[in-house]
Structure 1
Amino acid sequence: MRVTIIYDNTSLRGDLIADWGFSALVEARGKRVLFDTGARGDILLENMEALGLDPRSIEEVFISHPHADHMGGLSDLLRIKPARVVVPRSSPAPGNAEVLRVAEPQEIHPGIYSTGELAGIEQSMAIDSGMGIVVISGCAHPGAGRILKVASGFGEVKGLIGGLHGFSDLDLLEDLDLICPAHCTRHISAILERFPDKSLAGGAGRVIEIAD
């Protein structure tokens, strides 16, 4: 399993553009799925080019929730590569693409799951990786605790990557082996300080690899 953060508020490389939003390429279980598309298509595509990622290789787009900083780049991407778009049930979706609307927790590919739409707005992705379930969150509007609880229905959760907003109950992260707070997470410093041996700061250009 490999996760490459393409779009984030910060950048780890000088050739990548930082901007408010989130997008990551998830390569797992034989699939290449783009999780969210950031706020601007031009930045998304420029960062993909700098990272050596071909947008035409994207097989599917998974949208966590319908805020502009998470799906603003979708139309530009779909003009280059039509792909199925997986959205929460109540989310608007492009009319020129195959759309899968997700209401309840479900498997969308073997070993790749959606938590379903939580709190009437957001879904997270869960992947059965070599280390257990790894959750990828856009903003965690429903609450990170609720997301982790739902994801635990797919297996033991061992990793959490992405935006967590104001999440501060760090005790919930004790049993994880990997934590990568990104995007809107307010308490990134506190997470990194408490879990120095198993946490990584996010940022465009961050690559996380998990061996099977």
Structure 2
Amino acid sequence: MPSSESSLGLRSVDSSNRLVITFLVDNTLEWFTKLPPGFTHELSQHLQNQNPPLKTHPVTGVPVLDLNEFCCGAHGFSALIETQISGEDAHLTLFDTGPDSLSLVRNVKALQVPVDKITRVITSHWHADHTGGLLSFLELRTGSKSECIVDCHPDRPISRGMARGAQPNMIFACLPDDPTFEEIEAAGGVVEKHAEGHAVASGAVWVSGEIPRITSFEEGIPGAKRWVEEGGRGQWIDDELILDERYAVIDVAGKGLVIFSACSHAGICNVVRDAVTKFSRPIHMIIGGLHLAPADSAVRIGPTIDFLSRQLIPAPNFVLPMHCSGFYFKVELEKALGDGCVPASTGMKVEISGDRELDRRLFPSTITIV
């Protein structure tokens, strides 16, 4: 029987509480597609909650959907995670901040997110499409009475770039620089550097350390480069493994693990293997970018789907392929999982309730990977 707290400090969300996820930045917008129970489109939230209040059309008298007050899509990822352990205060944790100074700020305003109550930001890794909105978010909190911890990996690169496969030494572009530790603190953030796994939010969220690379077909990102300096000289070196990448996980009683893997440079199979090994719990939901959109990742689509749908027993209840997952992967995943492949997007909300009694009655003591 699984305990309400693991040896690693992760505590499960139980029957008196719930996990609420709001997607603040993603590449796509989706207002109309059929969703499973517990999922709510942004459009429905505006209409049902009138938050912000909708204006009335002066002629027809019906509510006006002012698209200037709705979310926008952007190439990046950010999710707001609300957790609560029985008898304790709720925690709002931001997982990544999107790619720029505009999209996250616009979207938190559109969804009326109480930014002053977000007390921790987890950065999944040092890539600008995941950290680009960090400083603007912290500036949005200016004047807040609560501090905001920025939970990040200590190994921040000077710069990251990409080379073409046929020309491994030709760097065709680099990403904007990630915020420095000094810039984060100047904007009001409290830097916490973590290279090892650790629990946060009263133990409801566990942030991984380095992800073990054991899956044969998940060999990193071809052409990924990193700028290093030594002795007054700089150069590009190979950085295909992107070892600073981390995932986050929440355990919901009666459901299982909810995994946030913002870009899956390590490979989503490696991420899932590590989570299952550490917590011996079934996977309820996998969320985020699975990095199968690039053409050179196409060969991994079939083996990845086979792992998630057949080799992992029981299979995940839901997979939400977002950000860099790619159209072709989504199509093939839907064939394998049906309604378990959810078209999640910017502005969508997910509510997951815990059930301790169901956990005791139904869950296996071990998870199998064949």
Give me the TM-score of the superposition, normalised by structure 1: 0.92
1:1-212 aligned within 5 A: 1-13=19-31, 15-29=70-84, 30-81=90-141, 82-91=147-156, 93=181, 94-96=184-186, 97-109=189-201, 110-118=203-211, 119=241, 120-130=243-253, 131-152=255-276, 153-156=278-281, 157-166=283-292, 168=301, 169-174=304-309, 175-186=315-326, 187-212=329-354
Larger Rg: 2
CA distance in 2, matches of 1:210, 1:155: 20
Once the two structures are TM-superposed, the CA of residue 26 in structure 1 deviates from its matched residue by 0.7
Structure 1 Cα separation of the partners of residues 79 and 194 of structure 2: 20
| Poorly superposed stretches of 4+, deviation over 6 Å | none
Report the residue type matching 1:83 in the other structure.
C
Unaligned ranges ≥5, structure 1? none
**Which letter maps to 2:268?**
A
Say which is worse superposed, 75-84 or 3-12, in terms of deviation: 75-84
Percent identical among aligned pairs is: 29
> How far does residue 12 in structure 1 lie from its aligned partner after superposition?
2.2
- The number of equivalent residue pairs is 212
RMSD: 1.7
**Residue aligned with 2:193, SS:** strand
* CA contact 2:269–2:308 (8 Å) conserved in 1: no
1-structure distance, mates of 2:105, 2:114: 9
Deviations 1:63-122 (A, max 9, x none): 001111101000011113251011123135323322222222222341311121334120
Judged with a 3 Å threshold, the aligned counterparts in structure 2 of structure 1 residues 26 and 155 are, in CA distance, closer, same or farther, namely farther
TM-superposed deviation, 1:60: 0.7
Shift of 1:172: 2.5
Superposition TM-score, scaled by structure 2 size: 0.54
Task: Report the AA paired with residue 153 of structure 2.
Answer: P
What is the distance in 2 between the residues matched to 1:19 and 1:116? 27
Instruction: Decide whether the 8 Å contact of 1:132 with 1:155 is kept in 2.
Output: no
- AA aligned opposite 2:306: D
Per the TM alignment, residue 35 of structure 1 is displaced from its structure 2 partner at its CA by: 0.6
Residue 115 of structure 1 contacts residue 150 of structure 1 at CA under 8 Å; is this kept in 2? no
Q: CA deviation at 1:205?
A: 1.5
**Residues 89 and 117 in structure 1, CA contact (< 8 A), matched pair in contact too:** no
